Structure 1
Amino acid sequence: MISPRRHAVFLLACFLLVPDAHAWGPDGHRIVAELAQRHLSPAAEAQVERLLAPEHTCRLADVATWADDIQDDPAQQSLWKATRSLHYINFRDRQCHYEPPRDCPDGHCVVGALDHYVAVLGDRHQSDEARREALKFVVHFVGDVHQPLHAGYRDDKGGNTYQVQFEGKGSNLHRVWDSGLLRSRALAWQDYARQLDARGPVALPPASAAPYAAWAEESCRLTRDIYPDGHTIGAPYVQAELPLAERRLREAGRRLAALLNRTLG
């Protein structure tokens, strides 16, 4: 069992980490959550409903952005500061090989965060409040680790300092991947999720003994090829990269459903 004291130490240690990079935009996170919701087992769905009932919802999409939203809640500032650096991982080179002591010291990265909060979520000795918070973090962090620029190796803060022109405006590569690519479809997130789900199950590589690290390594390897030639992003880039972004959403949704079915079922 993970003790409250260990949980507090885990959070406080995160104050020492570097500033965060934001995640998929709200639509991306809600799409991942909705894709997972559609494939929950009856047992897992019942547990999700029970845990979320005090927040007057029963759907994962309604809490998918909570881990980002707390930055704007004055009452949640200590939690935001303690967890803001758990949304990503910094690899050291393009080989993208995960080495915990180097890339995630003391578990302080998105891989370590998933290890921690999945354990809390699955621990029936924890309070419902602790497990509800863990559920919200897990839903969000599974989305984060599938956003390629949340697991990069370049010295540009996950593309945040890589300036680009997109749709005639100044932006950065991270923001384009967070929301710009998805916004180009001009779909409400609910319709987008329905369309992606209608494509059927996405093919996944064989399961790993360390799945969260494997997902991060996948994202890192993808960043090798998603930087544009130059700093202007036009229609050819969107046409080439949007299918990859959509595939990562589908992979995240399928994996989140499997994780929750296993942990809560």
Structure 2
Amino acid sequence: MLRRLLFCAGLLAAFALPSSAFAWGKAGHRLVAELAVPDLKPQVRAEIDGLLAGESEPTLPGVAAWADELRERDPDLGRRSARWHYVNIGESGCRYDAARDCANGDCVVGALKAQAAILGDRRRPRAERVNALKFVVHFVGDAHQPMHAGYAHDRGGNTRQINFRGRGTNLHSFWDSGMLNSLGLSGDAWLARLRARAPSVDRGPVLPPRAEAWVETSCRIATRSGVYPTRARIDEAYVQRHLPLAEQQLRDAGARLAAILNATLER
């Protein structure tokens, strides 16, 4: 009976969470930031170091999950930024339309552009630019998490319950961290694995961030055949089939984050 009650409580908690509650998981966001760091230009890295001075972990990886922690750190900013983590375009054939999908800039595409502009404006107060840097690092990762651009009807897979290796979770959480954790690799091993991949090549200007294209790609992954299993129980074959897509998204997010920061902060 106790196990049943705990399981039900877990399900209720999962359904209560907003679709921004998970975003690659803390480890995934750190990986995106870690991948970006070696590609930063020296003067850009120096400015980032200056902006992050005083943080408990004053590095890009150290602040990568900050935006997901705002509900506890700063509830007001957490509420205001809740919709900035995602955009639901699965029901629209994965075609992004700003007027329809991002009214008042309240989606990951609009938020990333706005925060990159704040970060690059040296007339802004330092505190605003510090927060903007943290948001940019985080939102580049979010834009590449397929479920953050998926269907609205199930809140990006948050209400789609699945079972993997005898444990219940939801599809969104499984794409955030469940597949990554299934390999049992350390952070360093994951970093080496991802660095061995070649990032996709972007064409066109770096600024403003080309997040429209990124979320459309993410959406096409989230809605492709087989991503939503026909049964609640999924197996190792599901991981083998879909994990390479998640890995490529993480790799691309790291490369694009570096490009955005270099273009935004280069003097």
Task: Name the residue aligned to 1:7.
Answer: none
Give 1:252's aligned amino acid: A
Task: Name the residue aligned to 2:232.
Answer: 231
Task: Name the residue aligned to 1:204.
Answer: 201
Unaligned residue ranges in structure 2 (runs of 5+): 1-16
CA drift at 1:260: 0.3
- Structure 1 window deviating more from structure 2 (199-208 vs 45-54): it is 199-208
SS in 2 for 1:55: coil
Give 1:91's aligned amino acid: I
Superposed counterparts of 1:1-265, under 5 Å = 19-21=18-20, 22-73=22-73, 76-91=74-89, 93-197=91-195, 199-207=196-204, 211-225=210-224, 226-265=227-266
Measured in 2, the distance between the counterparts of 1:176 and 1:57 equals 27
SS in 2 for 1:203: coil
Measured in 2, the distance between the counterparts of 1:203 and 1:100 equals 24
- Shift in alpha-carbon separation, 1:70–1:238, aligned structure 2, 3 A: same
Measured in 1, the distance between the counterparts of 2:222 and 2:197 equals 26
CA RMSD, Structure 1 to Structure 2 (Å): 1.8
Measured in 2, the distance between the counterparts of 1:55 and 1:149 equals 30
CA drift at 1:200: 4.9
Give 1:195's aligned amino acid: R
SS in 2 for 1:54: coil
Measured in 1, the distance between the counterparts of 2:51 and 2:151 equals 37
Task: Name the residue aligned to 1:10.
Answer: none
CA drift at 1:261: 0.6
Measured in 1, the distance between the counterparts of 2:77 and 2:200 equals 36
Q: State whether residues 64 and 134 of structure 2, in contact with CA within 8 Å, keep that contact through their aligned partners in structure 1.
A: yes
CA drift at 1:119: 0.4
Please, what TM-score do these two structures have when normalized by structure 2? 0.87
Give 1:201's aligned amino acid: A
SS in 1 for 2:158: coil
Across the two proteins, how many residue pairs are aligned to each other? 245
Measured in 1, the distance between the counterparts of 2:197 and 2:68 equals 29
- Once the two structures are superposed, residues 216-263 of structure 1 have per-residue CA deviations (whole angstroms, 9 ceiling, x without a partner) of 111111112222232211100001111111100000000000000100
Measured in 2, the distance between the counterparts of 1:249 and 1:243 equals 10
Q: State whether residues 197 and 248 of structure 2, in contact with CA within 8 Å, keep that contact through their aligned partners in structure 1.
A: no
Measured in 2, the distance between the counterparts of 1:101 and 1:119 equals 20
CA drift at 1:56: 5.0
Measured in 1, the distance between the counterparts of 2:110 and 2:36 equals 21
SS in 1 for 2:228: coil
Task: Name the residue aligned to 1:3.
Answer: none
Measured in 1, the distance between the counterparts of 2:183 and 2:115 equals 33
SS in 2 for 1:93: helix
Please, what TM-score do these two structures have when normalized by structure 1? 0.87
Measured in 2, the distance between the counterparts of 1:210 and 1:59 equals 22
Q: State whether residues 30 and 61 of structure 1, in contact with CA within 8 Å, keep that contact through their aligned partners in structure 2.
A: yes
Measured in 2, the distance between the counterparts of 1:201 and 1:111 equals 24
- Once the two structures are superposed, residues 64-101 of structure 1 have per-residue CA deviations (whole angstroms, 9 ceiling, x without a partner) of 0000112223xx11111111121100116252111111
SS in 1 for 2:23: coil
